[in-house]
Amino acid sequence: MEDIPKATITYNDMEYEEEMQMPISSEEMQMFIEVGKLVSYKRAQLTKQGKKLSPSGSRDISGRATENVIREHLMKHGLNISNTRVGIEGAPLEIDLISLKLGINPTKTIYYPHEVDTVLEIKNNAVADQTTEIKKNFNRLRQLTAVIRFAAIVLSEREGYKYAIREDQLGYPVFTLICRTVSAGRWMWSESETLIVRDKIMSRGKTIGRKAMEETGEWHGLLDYLRVRNAKSGMIG
């Protein structure tokens, strides 16, 4: 029997080896699955160490995995992206990610406002009302300089969720990559279960004939949004 090839997966402080799978249908779905694998891997590590996870600890693992995966995929598209959890000089706030201007060192931990193109808030999915806090932080950062842009990126969200992060309420661009008609759960940490949910056709109520999760197309809109300044000068195609 032929050995299944393996690949080393590295996201900042997370590295592990896994069997290579068949290509997933879209980049958004690939990101969703990669996040689930990282969360599962990190939770298994902590369990082996005899550590118990609080709800906030679980959210932190999920948040960090989402930030790392989205960062890697943005970089694959030629964007200059900072490390996760960085800051801007003059603002006592931790920032998930920054899309930097061309030529700026992406390994720094603190940036000057003139080095920043877009401040990015990353969410796996909304938990209660996070819109108010994000808007407050964006408004504070906006006072540093009028040329900094802002965007919130949500990996997936349940359709109709009361506290979904929406552009009309945030007042800044929001890019939700996957729309779900099912609630978040442990199935999100398994590739096989995720693919089953992805291809499932809902058959109850108003969801008849609809898939349980679908790409929104906003990933491509996000890439265009982040590229637009550099594209004008012909630096990024």
Spell out the domain ranges in the chain.
6-232
User: Of the candidates 100, 165, 115, which has an alpha carbon nearest to the alpha carbon of residue 145?
Assistant: 115
Per-residue model confidence (pLDDT) at position 8: 42
Distance CA 58, CA 119 (A): 24
Per-residue model confidence (pLDDT) at position 170: 98
Per-residue model confidence (pLDDT) at position 172: 98
Per-residue model confidence (pLDDT) at position 186: 87
Cβ–Cβ < 8 Å for 181, 159: yes
The tokens describing 79, both together, are 């964007």
Per-residue model confidence (pLDDT) at position 233: 38
- Mean pLDDT in consecutive groups of 10 residues from the start of the chain, 237 residues: 37 45 74 94 90 85 96 97 97 96 96 96 95 97 92 96 97 97 89 85 55 92 88 43
Q: How far is CA 212 from the centre of its chain?
A: 20
Place of tokens 């700026």: 104
pTM of the model: 0.84
149-158/116-123 β-pairing: parallel
Per-residue model confidence (pLDDT) at position 196: 86
